[in-house]
Amino acid sequence: MRVRCRVISRGIAEGEAIVSRKKFSFLGDVDVDTGRIVAEDSDLRGESISGKVFVFPSGRGSTVGTYVLLRMKKRGTAPKAIINVETEPIIAVGAIIAGIPLVDRLEVDPLENIKTGDFVRINAIEGWVEWRR
């Protein structure tokens, strides 16, 4: 399935999806050295977002989190791309400075339509996302 989306951080990527229904903060919710989610209340606790297309509703929390994605990118633990339902400035600016493609406002709800393990392609220049089981 291919749908249109809004481009926030430009670039092209593809990979396996990992989907969370919880708002996320890169400051504190993830172990920067491994890419594993450590947030107590996360539905992905213990799983790794490293090298995957990370799908979640939106960001939450402190602006100090902006540089964390860059840190993960440098250590090779960052996600390949991010899909949000509706993004916010902290995640957006973090993704841009780390060079990680980020899109939001898909034509369909990504949380309902993309499943963990799906293969996802993101074109965050033309503005579309496609996926298959």
Partner 1 sequence: MDLSREEEKLLNSDDPTLAKCMEILVALGEIFEADRLIPVTSAHVSGISYGNIGEEGLEWLKGFRAKVKVRTTLNPAGMDLDRWREMGISEEFFRKQMEVLEALKRIGAELTLTCTPYYINRPSFGEHVAWAESSAVVYANSVLGARTNRESGISALASAIIGKTPRYGLHVKENRAPTILVRVRGDLDPSYVGYVVGGEVEGIPIFEFERRLSDDEMKQLGASLASTGNVAMFHVKDQTPEWDDFEIPREKMEVDGRDIGDECDPDLVALGCPHLSEREIIFIADIVERLGRPKREMWLFTSRHVWFRLKGLIERLERRGIRVFRDTCMVVSPATERFDCVLVNSGKALTYLPKLRGVRAMFAPTRECVRRAFE
For this structure, is 62 an active site residue?
Answer: yes
Q: Whose Cβ is closer to partner 1: residue 9's or residue 42's? A: 9
Q: With H, G, I as helix, E, B as strand and everything else as coil, classify residue 64.
A: helix
User: Among candidates 76, 4, 3, which has minimal Cα distance to 33?
Assistant: 76
Of residues 2, 4, 21, 74, which one binds partner 1 by CB under 8 A? 74
Using CB under 8 A as the binding rule, whether residue 64 contacts partner 1 is answered as yes
For residue 79, what are its two tokens? 């996600």
Q: Which of 25, 48, 67, 111 binds partner 1 (CB under 8 A)?
A: 67
60 binds partner 1 (CB under 8 A): no
42 binds partner 1 (CB under 8 A): no
Distances (CA, A) of 86 to 32, 36, 57, 103, 107: 24, 23, 6, 9, 12
Whichever of 17 and 103 has its CB closer to partner 1, that residue is 103
Angle at which helices 68-75 and 89-98 pack, to 10 degrees? 30
Candidates 19-27, 41-49, 69-77, 107-115: pick the segment binding partner 1 (CB under 8 A). 69-77
Q: Which residues are catalytic?
A: 62
